[in-house]
Amino acid sequence: MRNVLISGASIAGPALAYWLRRKGFSVTVVERAPGQRKGRQAVDIRGVALEVMDRMGLGEHVRAARTRMRGMSMVDDEGNELFRSEEQAFSSGRLGGEDVELLREDLTAMLYEVTKDQVEYVFHDSISALEQDEHGVRVEFDHGGFRTFDFVIGADGAHSAVRRLAFGPEQQFSKHLGQYLAIFPAANFLGLNNWQFWFHDEESGTGGAIYPVRDNAELRVTLGFLSEPVTYDHRDVSQQKQIVTDRLAGLGWEVPKLLAAMADAPDFHFDAMAQIHMDRWTTGLVRAGRRRRLLRLGAVRAGHQPGPGRRLRARRGTEPVRRRSRRRVRRLRAADAPVRRPQPGAGHREPRWPRVRGVGGPRQERHLTGHRRDRQRMSRRRS
Ligand SMILES: Cc1cc2nc3c(=O)[nH]c(=O)nc-3n(C[C@H](O)[C@H](O)[C@H](O)COP(=O)(O)OP(=O)(O)OC[C@H]3O[C@@H](n4cnc5c(N)ncnc54)[C@H](O)[C@@H]3O)c2cc1C
């Protein structure tokens, strides 16, 4: 059974683990936090994602856990209501439809629950190095030890370690969107009853959102400000809280109370809003041996590349096959093209080659056999 390592046990990691397991892979998920992360924001499940939940047997559970917002008010920094709606809420969009908004922690707990018996979870650890040898991707972990996997997949968020190790420093890919956000829980001192408040101060470029969760027992507060990139210590929560306090100081309405609640909040998350732009979501090179293709990570860029297919020559005899394989290896090397792997259980002669994609890859690619795809490329070139 081929084995896969997924980094990150939030939403994408366990969801992917579920489907890979069902497709016959042995799956390990490594998560840096000591357990699944609690707190933070609500997330939305819409459209096809709802069908995915249904197919995973989680549809009923996510619908039961949905937030029950009745509407929202937008206020200025003195608390004057500028806008009100009972048809939509900023965090969840249109109310009363099929879409489900629920807390991220509830969704991740469900995804963990549905996978935990079949997937190996390793908490409180992280990948520190990736290197491929002829047996697969050799992974070194922060807390010591090496293991080898057929695939490694990054589902470890905006500051992905897998991306950094396999593709290069984050700065190459991260586009700052000009805004910082902090999110933390607070007691429902505003007495909100399934109602959201949003505030915005044009002049200072600051704003925030407040909504009640857990049957109105608790608030989740988001505070933000517009800014060019700010330098700060990512591990120093006190410093981050101070940055937010400085930016929002002087605002009226309930903001001073929200800042006081932030100072005491045990769970606090602060980050820039950013987009990751990558022209490809896989890195690697084909090793044509046994028609197996190995996802190469990290080592490719270090120029450590095993030669093509000694085993292929030993196992698969004919010269035309060898020539075709060598041509494909050269072509793919030249293009440093995305790697494709056969699906588990695929036939020997006509394996299907699903596109190996990083989570959130840019588009779905048609599944073509290697030879069909080559023929298509050739005929495109001819025409
Ligand atoms: C303030 C805010 C508001 C948002 N509001 C909404 C909303 O209203 N609706 C919505 O749909 N979405 C919203 N989102 C986005 C949503 O939270 C993300 O799309 C979603 O969490 C992405 O899930 P993920 O599994 O890809 O990554 P993440 O949830 O980012 O999880 C990444 C996981 O990887 C782990 N990890 C990180 N580094 C390592 C490492 N080196 N090794 C191992 N593990 C690691 C982390 O601990 C974490 O568990 C919001 C996000 C923020 C920050």
Does the beta carbon of 137 sit less than 6 angstroms from any atom of ligand 1? no
pLDDT over 70 percentage in the chain: 74
**pLDDT tens-digit map of 92-141:** 888 888 999 999 999 999 999 999 999 999 999 999 999 987 788 999 99
How far is the first Cα of the chain from the last one, in angstroms, to the nearest whole number? 42
Residue whose CB lies within 8 A of the most ligand 1 atoms, among 16, 28, 32, 181, for a mutation test: 32
pLDDT at 11: 97
CATH 3.30.160.270 fits 3-46+99-172, yes or no: no
Place of tokens 């002669």: 349
Beta-carbon neighbour count of residue 34 at 10 Å? 9
Q: How far is the CA of 157 from the centre of ligand 1 (A)?
A: 5
pLDDT bucket at 366, cuts 50 / 70 / 90:
very low
Query: Is residue 337 over pLDDT 50?
Result: no
Does the beta carbon of 126 sit less than 6 angstroms from any atom of ligand 1? yes
Question: Which residue blocks in the chain are alpha helix, DSSP H?
Answer: 12-22, 48-55, 59-64, 104-115, 161-167, 237-248, 255-264, 310-315, 319-335, 370-382
Q: How far is the CA of 162 from the centre of ligand 1 (A)?
A: 15
Residue whose CB lies within 8 A of the most ligand 1 atoms, among 5, 6, 11, for a mutation test: 11
pLDDT at 79: 86
Query: Is residue 303 over pLDDT 70?
Result: no
Higher pLDDT pick, 365 / 243: 243
Higher pLDDT pick, 335 / 224: 224
Place of tokens 């969107």: 177
Does the beta carbon of 156 sit less than 6 angstroms from any atom of ligand 1? yes
pLDDT at 333: 46
Does the beta carbon of 30 sit less than 6 angstroms from any atom of ligand 1? yes
pLDDT bucket at 9, cuts 50 / 70 / 90:
very high
Mean pLDDT of 196-217: 93
Query: Is residue 343 over pLDDT 80?
Result: no
Query: Is residue 39 over pLDDT 90?
Result: no
Which ligand 1 atom sits closest to the C-alpha of 271?
A: 53
Kindly report the backbone phi and psi dihedral angles of residue 98, in degrees, each rounded to the nearest multiple of 5, phi listed first: -75, -25
**pLDDT tens-digit map of 128-157:** 999 987 788 999 999 989 999 999 999 999
Query: Is residue 375 over pLDDT 90?
Result: no
pLDDT at 324: 54
Average pLDDT of the chain to the nearest whole number: 79
**Which residues of the chain does CATH 3.50.50.60 include?**
3-46+99-172
**Which residues of the chain does CATH 3.30.9.30 include?**
174-276
Does the beta carbon of 155 sit less than 6 angstroms from any atom of ligand 1? yes
Which CATH architecture is the domain 174-276 placed in? 2-Layer Sandwich (3.30)
Place of tokens 């990948």: 127
Using CA positions, which residue lies closest to atom 23 of ligand 1? 11
pLDDT at 77: 76
